[in-house]
Amino acid sequence: MKLVPSFLKNEIANRPNLLKILDNIGWLFFDKAIRFSVALLVGVWVARYLGPEQFGILSYALSFAAIFSIFADLGLKGILVRNLVNKPEDRDTLLGTAFVLQVIGALFAIALLNMTILLLRPNDNLTRIIVSVLGFSLVFRSSQVIRCWFESQVQLKYVVWVENVIILFIAAIKVALIIQKAALITFAIVNAVEVALVLLGLACIYIKKSHSFARWKIKIDTGKQLLKDSWPMILSGASVLLYMKIDQIMIGELMSQKEVGIYSAAVRISEIWYFFPIAINTSIGPMLYRLRETNRQLYHSRLGKALKLMIWMSVFIAIAFHFLSESLIGVLYGHQYLDSAAILKIHIWAGIFVAVNNTSWNWYFAENRQNIAVLRVVIGLFINVLLNYALIPKHGGIGAAWATLITRSFVGYFGHLINKKTRPVFWIITRSIIKNPVR
Delimit the domains of the chain by residue range. 12-434
CA-derived radius of gyration, the chain: 21
2 or 336: which leads in pLDDT: 336
Q: 70 near 113, Cβ under 8 Å?
A: no
**322-360 pLDDT, tens digit each:** 898 888 888 888 888 888 999 999 999 998 888 888 787
Q: Provide mean pLDDT across the span 388-398.
A: 91
**114-133 pLDDT, tens digit each:** 998 888 888 888 889 998 99
pLDDT at 391 over 90: yes
Most confident of 5-14, 57-66, 224-233: 57-66
Helix, strand, coil percent content, the chain, rounded in steps of 5: 85, 0, 15
pLDDT band at 319 (very low <50, low <70, confident <90, very high): very high
**192-237 pLDDT, tens digit each:** 898 889 888 888 888 887 677 788 888 888 888 888 877 776 776 6
**396-418 burial: b if 16+ Cβ within 10 Å, else e:** bbbbbbbbbbbbbbbbbbebbee
Which residues, other chains included, contact 364 with Cβ-Cβ below 8 Å and sequence gap of 6+? 370, 373, 422, 425
Length of the chain: 439
Q: Provide mean pLDDT across the span 59-70.
A: 85
The dihedral region occupied by 275, where left means phi > 0, alpha psi between -120 and 50, and beta the remainder, is alpha
* CA distances in angstroms from 297 to 17, 110, 293, 360, listed in the order given: 18, 45, 11, 17
pTM of full prediction above 0.75: no
Mean pLDDT rounded to a whole number for the chain: 81
Give the pLDDT score at 74. 81
**Separation of alpha carbons 148 and 85, rounded Å:** 10
**258-289 pLDDT, tens digit each:** 888 898 888 888 887 776 776 676 666 667 77
